[in-house]
Amino acid sequence: MGNIFRATLALTAAAANNIAASQTPGAAGNLTLTAAAIAGTVPGQARRILFTPAGDEAANGTIWTVYGTNRTGSQITETVAGVANPATASTIQDFLTVTRIAVNKAQAGAVTVGTSGVASTSWFMLNNALTPMNVGIAVVVSGTINYTVEYTFDDINALAAGTYPTLFSISDLASKATSLNALFATPVFAVRLTQNSFTAPGTATITAIQAGLG
């Protein structure tokens, strides 16, 4: 029987200010988190964290540092470089909880922090020593959602702290909004499903089956 991976992305609606309401730090320090974030009920689902500035935080040299946990409960940290309004900035990692957000200096303007509509499943690690490395991948959607199936050649278990895998996408499953499937035979380290955007309660479920494993 093949090695089977199945995971579903089913997020609640994104909210731009449910982690930190609008505030303008006058010096280096920590943003004031909402009661829900402090209680650990927001984000509540592993997903990207979104920063929406009112000023030009790129020119200002603002750096936000997010502290929290990932979907397995492990502590993670990520720095996010400031951007200029109307742009927004996001974490690369998915945070299940946010325990602290530090800012490196006085900001140029106010900022709000909330949950993004972007998230990824955990990685499905493949046996790339098989010849051929045949993997069937299907994504089944419900409602309105846009997704991409990503893969990496990097060993995600051996990355240095603060570094992230280089991502590629399967062309037949990139920026799609309907249920689709694809066959994958390129030796890679791992694959995952990433939700690019959605309208709640849109969902996507990935099923990947690799042949040849006992």
CA distances from 183 to 20, 25, 123, 190, 192 (A): 43, 50, 18, 15, 14
pLDDT tens figures, 158-206: 999 889 999 999 999 999 999 999 998 888 999 999 999 999 999 999 9
Please name which of 54, 69, 56, 67 lies closest in space to residue 21, comparing C-alpha atoms: 54
At residue 103, the pLDDT reads 98
DSSP assignments along 84-130, one per residue: BTT--EE-SS-EEEEEEEEESS--SS-EEEEE-S-EEPPPEE--TTS
CATH class in words for 15-116: mainly beta
CATH 2.60.120 segments of the chain: 15-116
At residue 52, the pLDDT reads 98
CA atoms within 13 Å, Cβ hemisphere of 46: 18
214 pLDDT higher than 60: no
148 pLDDT higher than 60: yes
Binned at pLDDT 50, 70 and 90, residue 1 comes out as low
Percentage of the chain exceeding pLDDT 90: 90
- Amino acid identity for residue 177 in this structure: A
Backbone angles phi, psi at 131, to 5 degrees: -130, 115
213 pLDDT higher than 80: no
Q: Using CB atoms within 10 Å of the CB of residue 149, give its burial: 0 to 12 exposed, 13 to 18 middle, 19+ buried.
A: buried
Binned at pLDDT 50, 70 and 90, residue 132 comes out as confident
Q: Which two tokens stand for residue 42?
A: 């927001």
Contact 197, 146 (CB under 8 A): yes
pLDDT tens figures, 99-124: 999 999 999 999 999 999 999 999 99
- The total of other beta-carbon atoms located within 10 Å of residue 40's CB is 14
The structure's pTM equals 0.94
Contact 33, 58 (CB under 8 A): no
**In angstroms, rounded to a whole number, what is the distance separating the alpha carbons of residues 116 and 120?**
11
